[in-house]
Structure 1
Amino acid sequence: MREPAAGAGALVLDRVRLALAGKLLMDLSLAVPPGEVVTVMGPSGAGKSALLAYLCGTLPGEFEATGTVTLAGRRLDGLPPERRRVGILFQDDLLFPHLSVAGNLAFALPASVRGRAERRARVEAALAEADLAGFGGRDPATLSGGQRARVSLMRVILSEPEALLLDEPFSKLDVELRERFRRFVFEEVRARRLPALMVTHDPADAVAAGGPVVRVGQQGG
């Protein structure tokens, strides 16, 4: 387990304790520097997804949580989700079926990005970066699984997060797509200097991430 360390842009968890029905699930202190992926592994029921929900500000009320979380020096615990500047990528792409690919991306743009031309330019740049130039008018249902995954990641990136959480984002892709999408995600993390915390059951994800691994819960439990 890593001890908290100060650093510009770092995501720092200091004595974060999660419990459910009086049972302690985890007690974590760690620091995630910008551009690094820290992997959290453990059995089902160990509280991994609950940890990400706590960092996002969406932890269900039946959980008990204590501890301090800071991001780039800002304290997050207690802030509403929309003020945390934390993005999360799930197993499912969760694209809106009633919006085009471009509409899905534009939805994520902050209100501070004003003007139709500027918003369109941001969306087009994201599509180009994801090797999807010209796909803006497409229905998400017409995309392949890998293309949908890339759109989902770029939608998170366009929301201008200061940290990225990864909740088993590769688990539903086949082996070839998984390897390609992993590379794409981790390249974005490094290029954008985002601290990233990943939850996974797959040791290959942790190896590909190349960062520290934190194990929680009792193996086999």
Structure 2
Amino acid sequence: VVVSYRCGVAGSRATFHVVVYNEREKITVYEIWRVTVLTMDVCDVTGLLGQDSKCSISVRSLAPGPPAACRACSSSARELSVEVDGSVQIGRDLVSVPLRFSPAAEGWKDHVVNFVSDRKIVSQWLISARARLPAVTKRYEIRVRYAEASFKKIIYINPSSVDRTYKLVSSMPSLLTFRMSSTMVVPARGRQYISMKFTPGDRPLGAGEAETSRSEVYVFIN
């Protein structure tokens, strides 16, 4: 069932009912739905999987009165965080609030950011975020045994003329983690091994289960 509704200004709320009948002649009521529409400001964000992207939103209160100290809450703090220490003062004037987008999976995902003061929502934002895959520079095909931990190494070469500290991120931590540390220091024009631990499954295969499977995991070096 598709319902079309013309939304009002951001922060407005509307409630209406949808009556579902058993027949086209509208004689017997089957169900009555109560629909509440809360209109929010929208911000579109695009980022690369495995990397952090920064953006900002301009927030203000729709209610009259002096500025209020608000606490920012994200519906998915691991992927979309509000880069503010403590509270932020929100009033009738626009206030720039920085955000950090750290996508965990490719594709589109909606996040909600609420600014709350005294248990009341002062402002509410819908962040429509899109995560894309970065360019893949190298590919490896690695075979491991199911339900057995395996350790593998690959070499990374620092192409820069200065020493670099890199952060390693796995796109699938349940399958691939880093054995020593998620950071590594590589000297200029030098090379370093990346030690990886694979944990493909945590139980033996049952009768009739496939003995082989294939997964694509990305290692992001930032």
TM-score, shorter chain, exceeding 0.5: no
Which entry has the higher C-alpha Rg, 1 or 2? 2
| Larger helix fraction of residues | 1
TM-score with structure 2 setting the length = 0.23
* Higher relative contact order (CA closer than 8 Å, sequence separation 6+): 1
TM-score with structure 1 setting the length = 0.23
